[in-house]
Structure 1
Amino acid sequence: MRVLTKSKFKLGLECPNKLFYVGKKEYANQKDDNPFLEALAKGGFQVEELARLYYPSGHLLEGEDWDYKKHWEHTKELLKKENVTIYEAAFLHDGLFIRTDILVKRGNSIQLVEVKSKSFNPEDENIFIGKTGRLISDWKPYLFDVAFQKHVMQLCFPVWEIKCYIMMADKSKKASIDGLNQFFRLTKLTDNRTGVKVLVKSKDELGSPILDKLEVTDIVSGIESGKFIYNDGLSFQDSIEDYKQAYLKDEYRNFPTSYMTCNKCEFKADVDSGLLSGFKECFVKQHNWKEGDFSKLNLFDIRGIHWTKSIKLFQSELIFGEKLSQESIGLKEGVGKLSDSERAWIQIEKAISDDSTIYVDKHGLKEEVDKWIFPLHFIDFETCTAALPFSKGRKPYEQIAFQFSHHKYYEDGKIEHATEFICNQAAYFPNFDFIRELKKALENDYGTIFRFHNHENTILNAIHSQLLESDEKDKIPLIEFIESISHSTGNSAKKWSGDRDMVDLWVVAKNFYFNPLTKGSNSLKDLLPAALNNSGFLQEKYSKPIQQISLTSKNFPDEFIWLRKNQEKIINPYKGLPPVFDNWTEEEIEKSISEIEEINDGGAALTAYGKLQYTDMTKAEVDEITSALLKYCELDTLAMVMLYEHFREIIK
């Protein structure tokens, strides 16, 4: 039975064509394999379970999610009661189907409570509606979701008076107990619809509430009346009918492509995936692209053209790189560095001429490198934010810095994995221990410190704020240390710029270097394999065991080799990290409670840290996860070292 659900309605709002591709196993869907999205979704399940405790004695409808009629009949039976609370109440009407997170019925007065794993500041007067009177773009999908739910409910029960709410974490509230998060266990082994096992029976066991609800009834009415629109075109009511017909009939809607929507399309397939591409089919049908066109450089591949310019180029059918000119992309020369548009033009020129050689501003890069002071320090942080705080006194989504790795590069070429820190203790706030250990690692010389992108600076700013509010006896020297190696962000009340402010290798690469193998990306996960494939020096060096290349490691044996090949193709080192429970038997793995298989990206790392909060986890399992986290983080800083060596090789 095909029905238009609220998730599919939201998908239709993004692009009606997606309704044709969603749920079909033969089509690629990149959202299905996104570790960060998966981690966020799991956090949402925990918040939903906590919210249910705020509305006790509710009836949960679960199991057999595909049986829409069964759940609708069950809901109708429960709604015969004058007063009732239902979790996952189901409503089915003429091809439309919704499930409500929490529904409270008191006669004909209804509370529709949508639970979100987002947060709000109660002092913010413009949470949902901006100063211009328009809906805040980030909130649009959620508000239209609630409006769709109310619409279907009203069709089923026209006499109901429905008030709409969004429940989420209040950023001003602090947890009053330790281990709030661990009472809501993420698991694959439960029959619960959300995959969470709840270990408490009442919210009274959880201390002070950290969730609150905001009424959005008037906003929903504005959506229904057309005061607030999602995008130009169909009205709210017409869009529901249009998307319903498209999905029920399994029709491709032929909705016009656009740069902004298609650029974010999840239905793109990797060449070797063996899956169909919805993105590809749209451009065949609407733009008459031939097979060869998809291998040509196009606007979606080019980094550095401002999005407003890209929109205009797309509308003018100037999509392929071969049709673009310096004038059309708005080329502007950078001052002492590559501008974004210069990088875009380099990418275009190299793609058109099939030139895979690296572009580098050797003079500018050498000038930058010559400023750096030995020994060089490369640092990487692993961090986490959780809707449900891990420890007492912390707020929802407060930054937690639980791990760092630190490589030191000496002037004679010796590379030392100098220090590392990890906190695997459950229900403990590690940030102040983290910054103390980082201070010890970096305060003994004036060598240049490197980070990659903004994350480390952002985290240091967060710890700076946490220290200011703390009673730590050494808060002043710790704050002074943070201010010496970082700079303040726009959110900081105090402004500073350290005399030893970290150098951002991402900025260095962006300013002076372009490798066609990265396809315009400046992500370290793309730069590293590209550099390895281009650098004979790196290939020769890191194809040898650690003990032979003047390199130390805290987590890998001396005989470990970082670079291996598969049919002459270099294997990305991140793909070579060993599985978490590499030496465990199947029986031992089955008894584990973390359900973690590998840690080779940031999403997996933060998920692993969340699992370490389980106080009943065995020491053996804690040790295995800790070991995997240490290996992953060590590679992150070694990757920065490799990139530095690549730069140094180029300018020699």
Structure 2
Amino acid sequence: MRVLSKSRFKLGLECPNKLFYTNNKEYANTKNEDSFLEALAQGGFQVEELARMHYPNGILIEGNDWDYQLLSNQTKELLKEENVIIYEAAFLVDGLFIRTDILVKKGNNIELIEVKSKSFTPDDDYIFIGKSRKMLAGWKPYLFDVAFQKYVMQLCYPDWDIKSFIMMADKSKKASIDSLNQLFRISNKEDNRTGIIKKVNSLNETGNSVLGRKNITDIIAEIELNKHLYHSNLDFKKSINLFKELYKNNEYANWPTTFSACKKCEFKSSNKTNQDLKSGFRECFSKQHNWKEKEFNEPNTFDIYDFRKGTKLFDEGVFFKKDLTEDSIGLKEEAEKLTTSHRQWLQIEKEVNNDDTIYADIEGLKKEIDNWNYPLHFIDFETSTVALPFNKNLRPYEQTAFQFSHHIYYEDGTIEHANEYINNIAGVFPNFEFIRALQNALGNDNGTIFRYSHHENTILNAIYVQLLDSNEKDKDDLITFIENISHSKRDSTIKWQGERDMVDLWEIEKRYYYNPITKGSNSIKAVLPASLNSSKYLKEKYSKPINEIKITSKNFSKEHIWLEIENDIVKNPYEMLPPVFQDWSEDEIEKTLSEIEGIADGGAALTAYGKLQYTDMEQAEVDKITSALLKYCELDTLAMVMIFEQTLSRKVCKV
């Protein structure tokens, strides 16, 4: 049965053409490969379980997920009661199917409660609708989702008076008990039906709830009246009918292409994992713009770095880099740095002219280098924001720093993997232990400290605030340390900039350097392979075993070789990280609860930490995940060292 569900309705809102490609095994779908999607859900099940405790004695409809008729019939039976609370109530009508998180029925008065693992502050009157009375883009999909649920419910029960709410974490509230986030855990499904274990029986046992709800009934009514449109040429009810027919008939919508939607389209085939699958992106441009292989091979505007003029130019029919001019992108050049438009123009020019030479502002780089003190320190943090707090007096979604890695680069070229820290113990709030370990790692000299992008500075600011509210005996010493190696955020009420304020390698890359292989990206995952493939020095050095190249490692053997080179192309070191359960049998892997295969990006690391926190796995599985996290984080700081060696070291003119 092909029915329009909530998820398919939301997909149709993004682009109706996606309804043709979704769930079609012939088409590539990069979202299926994106570990960040799983990471975003971490802790969401806890918010859902806590939300249900606000509405006790509810009946959960579970199992038989694809038997829409059975689920609908079960719901109908329960709704015969005058008063009832249902979790995951199901409604099927006229080719439409939805499930509600929580439904409260008192006669014909209905509360539709959507639970989201997001956060809000109660006094924010503009959380959904801005001061200009426009719906905020970030909330649009969620609000239209609730409107769709209400529409389907109303079709089934026209006499119902439905009020709509969103329930989520309230950032104005603090936990009143310790280990709130350990009250809901995942266990083996053989032990219970859902795989979720609740360690409490009533809301009172959770202390002061950190959840709250916002009444969105009026906003849903405005959506129904088309005061808020998702697409300017498609009203709410028409969108439902259109999407339903498209999906039911497996029909291509021929919805017009746009710069923003097509740039983010997940139905693309890559050169690696899904090259044998069809590309929905290619089919849209073949059908709508008559693109042939020549056009698909022509450098287009979608991958231009931070290209805010892309939408306007796309609407004017400008799709390819060769058709851009300095005026059309608004080129602005400055003597002291690469501006955004200058980087864009470098990317455009070099790709159009097949110029793979590196741009480097040697003088600017040398000025930066002259300000650095050896030994050089490279640090990387792995962090999480958990919905339910670890400890009493913490708020929802406070920053949690669970891991760091630290490499030292000495003036003679020796590289030491000097320190690392990880918290793998469930229910332990690690931030103060983390900052003590970081102080011990960095406090032995006055060498320059490097980070990559803003993240580490943001985390140190968050821990700073947590320390101010804490009773830690050494809080003043730790606060002084943070002030020494960081700077205050722009909106901070307390201002500081430390003598050893971390140097942002990402900013230096942006200001003084451009490698065409990166395609405009400044992500370390793009810059590292570009640096390796552009440097004979790095290829020669890191294709040798660790013990031959003046480098140490805490997680890899002395015989480990970082680079694999084939046809003079370097394989990305992140792709060479070993599987988590590399030496386990298939039977042993089958029994794992984490279901983690590898950790090669930040999303996978975040997912792994979530599994360590919320899953009742055996210690052997914990140890394997911990080992994989340590290897991944070590590579992150070594990647910074490699980029430094190729781009920013005193060898910069030679390599």
**Shorter-normalised TM-score: what interval?**
over 0.9
Matches within 5 A, 1:57-68: 57-68=57-68
1:586 deviates by: 3.8
1:568 deviates by: 4.7
Q: Indicate if the aligned counterparts of 2:188 and 2:593 stay in contact, CA closer than 8 A.
A: no
1:258 aligns to what? 258
> Within 2, Cα distance between the matches of 1:194 and 1:256?
42
1:291 deviates by: 1.4
1:428 deviates by: 1.4
2:283 aligns to what? 281
Deviation larger for 453-462 or 418-427? 418-427
1:639 deviates by: 0.4
Q: Secondary structure at the match of 1:116?
A: strand
Q: Secondary structure at the match of 1:74?
A: helix
Alignment RMSD (CA, Å): 2.0
**TM-score (normalizing by structure 1):** 0.96
> Within 2, Cα distance between the matches of 1:601 and 1:460?
22
Q: Indicate if the aligned counterparts of 1:174 and 1:392 stay in contact, CA closer than 8 A.
A: yes
1:479 aligns to what? 479
1:197 deviates by: 4.8
Q: How far does the alpha carbon of each residue in 1:178-219 deviate from its partner, in whole angstroms, 9 at most, with x for none?
A: 443344334685799986454544434433322221111111
Q: Indicate if the aligned counterparts of 1:304 and 1:343 stay in contact, CA closer than 8 A.
A: no
1:516 aligns to what? 516
Q: Secondary structure at the match of 1:257?
A: coil
Q: Secondary structure at the match of 1:579?
A: coil
The one-letter amino acid of 2:148's match is: F
Q: How far does the alpha carbon of each residue in 1:567-610 deviate from its partner, in whole angstroms, 9 at most, with x for none?
A: 65322111121222223344444444333222221112122222
1:93 deviates by: 1.7
2:97 aligns to what? 97
- Label 1:259 to 1:346 Cα distance change in 2 as closer, same or farther (>3 A): same
The one-letter amino acid of 1:222's match is: E
Q: How far does the alpha carbon of each residue in 1:491-513 deviate from its partner, in whole angstroms, 9 at most, with x for none?
A: 32212222221111111111111
Matched, 1:385 2:385: yes
1:82 aligns to what? 82
The one-letter amino acid of 2:582's match is: D
The one-letter amino acid of 2:633's match is: C
1:530 aligns to what? 530
Q: How far does the alpha carbon of each residue in 1:479-528 deviate from its partner, in whole angstroms, 9 at most, with x for none?
A: 12212211111332212222221111111111111112111111101111
Q: Indicate if the aligned counterparts of 1:366 and 1:651 stay in contact, CA closer than 8 A.
A: no
Deviation larger for 496-505 or 214-223? 496-505
Deviation larger for 489-498 or 107-116? 489-498
Deviation larger for 617-626 or 2-11? 617-626
Matched, 1:129 2:129: yes
Q: How far does the alpha carbon of each residue in 1:46-84 deviate from its partner, in whole angstroms, 9 at most, with x for none?
A: 322322222222222222222211111111111111111
2:106 aligns to what? 106
**TM-score (normalizing by structure 2):** 0.95
Q: Indicate if the aligned counterparts of 1:365 and 1:651 stay in contact, CA closer than 8 A.
A: no
Q: Indicate if the aligned counterparts of 1:372 and 1:448 stay in contact, CA closer than 8 A.
A: yes
Deviation larger for 128-137 or 321-330? 128-137
Count residues in correspondence. Answer: 650
Q: Indicate if the aligned counterparts of 2:304 and 2:519 stay in contact, CA closer than 8 A.
A: yes
Q: Indicate if the aligned counterparts of 2:545 and 2:562 stay in contact, CA closer than 8 A.
A: yes
2:224 aligns to what? 224
Q: Indicate if the aligned counterparts of 2:185 and 2:615 stay in contact, CA closer than 8 A.
A: no
Q: Indicate if the aligned counterparts of 2:385 and 2:397 stay in contact, CA closer than 8 A.
A: yes
Q: How far does the alpha carbon of each residue in 1:121-175 deviate from its partner, in whole angstroms, 9 at most, with x for none?
A: 1232222121112222211111111111111111111110001010111112233
Deviation larger for 359-368 or 282-291? 359-368
Q: Indicate if the aligned counterparts of 2:42 and 2:610 stay in contact, CA closer than 8 A.
A: no
> Within 2, Cα distance between the matches of 1:327 and 1:419?
49
Deviation larger for 254-263 or 456-465? 254-263
The one-letter amino acid of 2:134's match is: R
Deviation larger for 263-272 or 157-166? 263-272
Q: Indicate if the aligned counterparts of 2:259 and 2:311 stay in contact, CA closer than 8 A.
A: yes
Q: Runs of 5+ in structure 1 lacking a partner?
A: none
The one-letter amino acid of 1:495's match is: K
Matches within 5 A, 1:288-303: 288-303=290-305
Q: Secondary structure at the match of 1:650?
A: coil
Q: Secondary structure at the match of 2:594?
A: coil
Matches within 5 A, 1:10-49: 10-49=10-49
- Label 1:616 to 1:155 Cα distance change in 2 as closer, same or farther (>3 A): closer
Matches within 5 A, 1:145-164: 145-164=145-164
Q: Indicate if the aligned counterparts of 1:63 and 1:191 stay in contact, CA closer than 8 A.
A: no
The one-letter amino acid of 1:537's match is: Y
Q: How far does the alpha carbon of each residue in 1:332-355 deviate from its partner, in whole angstroms, 9 at most, with x for none?
A: 102311111111111111111212
Matched, 1:398 2:398: yes
2:415 aligns to what? 415
1:313 aligns to what? 313
- Label 1:650 to 1:192 Cα distance change in 2 as closer, same or farther (>3 A): farther
Matched, 1:344 2:380: no
1:360 aligns to what? 360
Q: Indicate if the aligned counterparts of 2:187 and 2:615 stay in contact, CA closer than 8 A.
A: no
1:111 deviates by: 0.6
Q: Secondary structure at the match of 2:329?
A: coil
1:454 aligns to what? 454
Q: Indicate if the aligned counterparts of 2:85 and 2:103 stay in contact, CA closer than 8 A.
A: yes
The one-letter amino acid of 1:528's match is: L
Deviation larger for 183-192 or 433-442? 183-192
Deviation larger for 78-87 or 183-192? 183-192
> Within 2, Cα distance between the matches of 1:359 and 1:195?
54
Q: Secondary structure at the match of 1:141?
A: helix
- Label 1:183 to 1:276 Cα distance change in 2 as closer, same or farther (>3 A): farther
Q: Indicate if the aligned counterparts of 1:62 and 1:192 stay in contact, CA closer than 8 A.
A: no
The one-letter amino acid of 1:636's match is: D
Matched, 1:651 2:643: no
2:424 aligns to what? 424
Q: How far does the alpha carbon of each residue in 1:217-256 deviate from its partner, in whole angstroms, 9 at most, with x for none?
A: 1111111112222231122122222222222222211111
Q: Secondary structure at the match of 2:374?
A: coil
1:634 aligns to what? 634
> Within 2, Cα distance between the matches of 1:495 and 1:364?
28
Q: Secondary structure at the match of 2:140?
A: helix
Percent identity, aligned pairs only, is 63
- Label 1:33 to 1:180 Cα distance change in 2 as closer, same or farther (>3 A): farther
> Within 2, Cα distance between the matches of 1:456 and 1:192?
40
Deviation larger for 259-268 or 383-392? 383-392
Q: Indicate if the aligned counterparts of 2:376 and 2:408 stay in contact, CA closer than 8 A.
A: yes
> Within 2, Cα distance between the matches of 1:622 and 1:19?
40
Deviation larger for 446-455 or 21-30? 21-30
Deviation larger for 516-525 or 200-209? 200-209
> Within 1, Cα distance between the matches of 2:615 and 2:98?
37
1:402 deviates by: 1.1
The one-letter amino acid of 1:428's match is: V
Q: Secondary structure at the match of 2:652?
A: helix
The one-letter amino acid of 1:548's match is: E
Q: Secondary structure at the match of 1:162?
A: strand
1:332 aligns to what? 332
Deviation larger for 461-470 or 269-278? 269-278
